[in-house]
Amino acid sequence: MNIHNITHNFVDRFPGDFSGDLHQRQTPGFLFTTVSAAHFENLELIAFNEKLSQEIGLGSLDYDLKFLAAQDLPKNIETYATAYAGHQFGNWAGQLGDGRAIYAGEIKNEKNQTSELQWKGVGATPYSRFADGRAVLRSSVREFLMSEAMYYLGVPTTRALSLVKTGEWVTRDIAYDGNPKQEQGATVLRVAESFLRFGHFELLAARKEVDTLQKLIDFAIENYFEEVDVNSETKNLDFFQAVADRTARMIIEWYRVGFVHGVMNTDNMSILGLTIDYGPYSMLDEYDLEFTPNTTDLPGRRYAYGKQGQIAHWNLLQLANALFPVIKNETALQEILEHYASDFWKLHDEMLCKKFGFDTLLKIDEPFFTTWQQMMQDLKLDHTLFFNTLTDLVLKENLDAKDFNNCFYHQPSVEDVARISDFIKNYQKRLNQNLISRPEIQQLMSQNNPKFILRNYLLYEAIQDLENGDNTKFNALWKALQTPYGNHDDALLAKRPQKYNMVYGCSQLSCSS
């Protein structure tokens, strides 16, 4: 591996604490602190993403297992953790920071593209807030597989380079019910163009460190926003517009594939519009706008599936507040936020058009989508299986409501079947207004409706087996997620079995997941 090519552009540009002191504390005036990873003796490689490693310029593994767990690093790698703030569940939380993430630095590939490398779970930092900075195998598997699954689905995301068992035991109370247990420790080495968050900008604004705030905006524009001219007088406002646009595109993609993040705090929001921090997430099984996989989010369901567009808008408002000291134009910021709100649902309807195979968005589509959504909500139909069934049947002249029986999580009633029949009639009428052929319609639908999604119960089974030393299901999921729009064994496409209803760690998760 080309680890001697790792650099530290962020460290070179911003004020930091180089003491290496891991004592948990406030770090005013600093955007990062240098840290050292914990020592692990019995490392075990579970997965290495060779293709990704080659793409980012890191190269082949060469049996350099220690680097994947931040052990015995060469002198050119100066590990550090960054400080940021954020709003958590709608409340200002003050300074947060990388509590269990440690940066290795940046690496460039042959195309001069830069990627940041970051370990998750290799030890405490000054921002760990009295936690141990470790990660367990359970959460690490979920991050590794889901971030890669989202990439292959076509959703903007951070990625995962490796998954390594650390050989130690870590105590976690998964249900927050006073019953902690020992779990196997692990670490993920994750990759992104940048891990900068809304919270980095919120922290500087809260501290009134306006000069550093401007420098951070300039840094972001120069490195990650080609669409923004760093020499323009309106660069700060253009930067906010770009972040809003990328955020909207990301959330639309979440809705397309049925992804629920579960904890959309502002410190979990990427300025690049990347899905970041895979904790208590879930892909939709039965359709439910009020579904949240995060038990910490109950009973309010702030981060429920149907609220994600609204929450992204609220989070952008907090970012606007943070950028105001350098933009100083409340009207212009408000206009961007208003356009986000008005444009988002148009983008959402355009996305649904592709899922249904409509070549253009018509005025009649909004009530059609509303009727469809209410049907899905009332009947609790499986989101992915519904669209897969529709895609498979679109070439038939006469669709039968019984073809959708596999989408139910209960025995469909006569009324349920009648409702499906009414929908089919309306859908056929709408298809007849298309200007493209039925085979072209099916192709459009196939490109926008994944067949394989990484359901929580599949992850749950793979994690249980992996904890017992069997990686068969893990490897099967890793292979399947790389072709989500292709054909797969029926066992991988099945809806959640009834036995997993309300099973903790499967259907329900906490923020420690």
List, by residue number, the catalytic residues.
267
DSSP 293: S
Q: Specify the DSSP element, H or E, that contains 259.
A: strand 259-260
Rounded Cα distance, 126 and 100, in Å: 10
Rounded Cα distance, 315 and 337, in Å: 10
Contact 196, 273 (CB under 8 A): no
Give residues with Cβ within 8 angstroms of 330, minimum separation 6.
324
CB count within 10 Å of CB 49 equals 21
Rounded Cα distance, 224 and 182, in Å: 41
Rounded Cα distance, 511 and 32, in Å: 24
Rounded Cα distance, 31 and 97, in Å: 9
Mapping DSSP to helix (H, G, I), strand (E, B) and coil, where does residue 477 land?
Answer: helix
User: What's the maximum distance between 2 C-alpha atoms anywhere in the chain?
Assistant: 72
Contact 84, 199 (CB under 8 A): yes
Q: Which of 307, 315, 236 is nearest to 269 (CA)?
A: 315
Rounded Cα distance, 359 and 192, in Å: 34
Rounded Cα distance, 394 and 374, in Å: 21
Q: Which of 153, 151, 183 is nearest to 167 (CA)?
A: 183
| Helix, strand counts (H, E) of the chain | 16, 13
